[in-house]
Amino acid sequence: MKAIQFGSHGDRDVIEYGEFPDPEPARGEVLFDVKAGALNHLDIWTRRGLPGIDLEMPHIPGSDAAGVVEAVGEDVTRFEPGDHVAVSAGVACGECEFCRNGEASLCTSFHIIGEHVRGVHAERAAVPASNLVPVPDGVDWAVAGSVSLVFQTAWRMLQTRADVEAGETVLVLGASGGVGHAAVQIADHAGCEVFATASTEEKLSHAEDCGADHVIDYETNDFAAEIAELTGKRGVDVVVDHVGEATYPDSLKSLAKGGRLVTCGATTGPNPGAGLNRIFWNQLSVLGSTMATPGEVDDVLELVWDGTFEPRIRETLPMSEAPRAHELIENREGFGKVVVKPDSEF
């Protein structure tokens, strides 16, 4: 088969699309023909190299993909050949106290397909059956292959960790990205008043289409000052921030007293000043969030499959153009998800 792969960490020039040994489904695994997958910022960090993660090389990236089951390994009963499936990339042990309590995303050995182990951006992939979800007939492959990671992440952030309620105000930073545009839709669906930041008029327009009530160009405006003006100096109840060091101080500043900042990542750096004086004086909560539990995945994907939530696709490329796909993510070009398909699917 052919697969996107790299044999060493580095810039986009380490990416290749070439021959790779065909996978075989082990016990408990499912082999599927990949019809479409999508990139996430995680793929960029994995390619560059993440501290503490020693990957088997060559590495196939990719945490999102969907396709048709070709074969199943021993002990697999949930799926059979011909089924349509999508990957849910979080792998848990199923045995620790967190798994037993239904909090698999807090598993003591939690890891992610495509980040810690080989991913699914290839013509075929074999993954544990527990990491696949059924896809209804008629769902477009680009949709099925691009929603799981970002929508489950945004769903847990807002519904579980921040516990948003109708009538609350929510600020989503980086609304043009995968998690950002999912968070705008989820907050709007929850009945919240949604504020969103992006860097161009086109991206701001897309954010409004996703459900944002107010949009802020963070390139030309101080978003914390804009939030103060738009809310009569009150601030918002919740800030969704996956940007990190560059935005964290103003995220805290944007919160109302008793507000919650929820974060799932730090693309501009993980170590901002703590801002403890603002946190304790305004009685703020800073909440971390990673991926989602299987039940949360099922809840949010049901709303994708029925059309309530819609991933925006900025571009669909053949896997042989993976370096360009990475470039789109790195340069923040466009709005929404970047989809890749095996060249044989074009």
Structure confidence by residue, pLDDT tens digits, 85-111 = 999 999 999 999 999 999 999 999 999
The DSSP code for 21 is P
The domain that holds 99 is classified in CATH as: 3.90.180.10
Same domain, 140 and 8: yes
Q: Give the position of tokens 């309620």.
A: 165
Q: Could you tell me if 174 and 153 are in contact, meaning their C-beta atoms sit under 8 angstroms apart?
A: no
In whole angstroms, what is the distance from residue 186 CA to residue 158 CA?
A: 8
Same domain, 250 and 177: yes
Q: Is residue 21 part of a domain?
A: yes
Same domain, 251 and 162: yes
Same domain, 159 and 120: no
Q: Could you tell me if 134 and 84 are in contact, meaning their C-beta atoms sit under 8 angstroms apart?
A: yes
Q: Is residue 305 part of a domain?
A: no
Same domain, 209 and 104: no
* Secondary structure (3-state) at 140: coil
| Among candidate residues 214, 165, 211, 239, the one with its CA nearest the CA of residue 308 | 211
Same domain, 202 and 269: yes
Q: Is residue 298 part of a domain?
A: no
The model's pLDDT over 279-290, given as tens digits with 9 standing for 90+, comes to 999 999 999 999
Per the structure, the complete domain to which residue 60 belongs is given by: 2-147+311-345
Cα–Cα distances (Å) from 275 to 45, 179, 223, 244, in that order, read: 27, 25, 18, 13
Same domain, 68 and 125: yes
Model confidence, pTM: 0.96
Provide the domain count of the chain.
Answer: 2
Q: To 10 degrees, what angle do helices 148-155 and 294-305 make?
A: 110
pLDDT tens by residue, the chain, 346 residues: 999 999 999 999 999 999 999 999 999 999 999 999 999 999 999 999 988 899 999 999 999 999 999 999 999 999 999 999 999 999 999 999 999 999 999 999 999 999 999 999 999 999 999 999 999 999 999 999 999 999 999 999 999 999 999 999 999 999 999 999 999 999 999 999 999 999 999 999 999 999 999 999 999 999 999 999 999 999 999 999 999 889 999 999 999 999 999 999 888 888 898 999 999 999 999 999 999 999 999 999 999 999 999 999 999 999 999 999 999 999 999 999 999 999 999 8
DSSP β-bridge partners for residue 86: 66, 133
* pLDDT score, position 5: 98
